[in-house]
Amino acid sequence: MVPRGEGFDRPCEPQRPSPYHPDALERLKLITCARGAGLSVAGIGWFLVARPSDADLRVRMAAKARDVQEQIGRLTRLHDSFRHAALCGHEPIVDCPDSKRSIGNVPVPAPVPSG
């Protein structure tokens, strides 16, 4: 139960306009997303200053895209395993053949080079 009289029962005040330029907010969203995906600050830095003619950028981005795709696969399999475990009646859950099969399909990630 939410306590009354502490601001929770009043309607939200309209949001004030952001003091930041929209481009800055977009860059912050990109940085936050990239950090969440495991990119280093240095790696994000080269991405932010790179130009389309930068051949090294294209090679690094293609490699990072492959890494992210592999991470998505691992997380999807782990997600499916957790969903199964939440409903599984096997004792103990970790010994469930379906859970073992799902987890067995999660490859060990290769070390990610910095940058």
Report which of 106, 101, 115, 35 is spatially closest to residue 70, judged by C-alpha positions.
106
Using a cut of 0.75, tell me whether the model's pTM lies above it: no
CA–CA separation, 77 vs 72, rounded Å?
9
User: Is 85 in a helix, a strand, or coil?
Assistant: helix
Q: Which helix (H) or strand (E) holds 89?
A: none
Could you list the pLDDT tens digit for every one of the 115 residues in the chain?
444 455 545 555 567 777 878 888 899 998 999 898 888 898 888 888 888 898 988 898 888 889 889 888 888 888 888 888 888 888 888 788 877 777 766 555 556 555 5
SS3 per residue for 46-77: HHHHCCCCCHHHHHHHHHHHHHHHHHHHHHHH
Residue type, 68: V
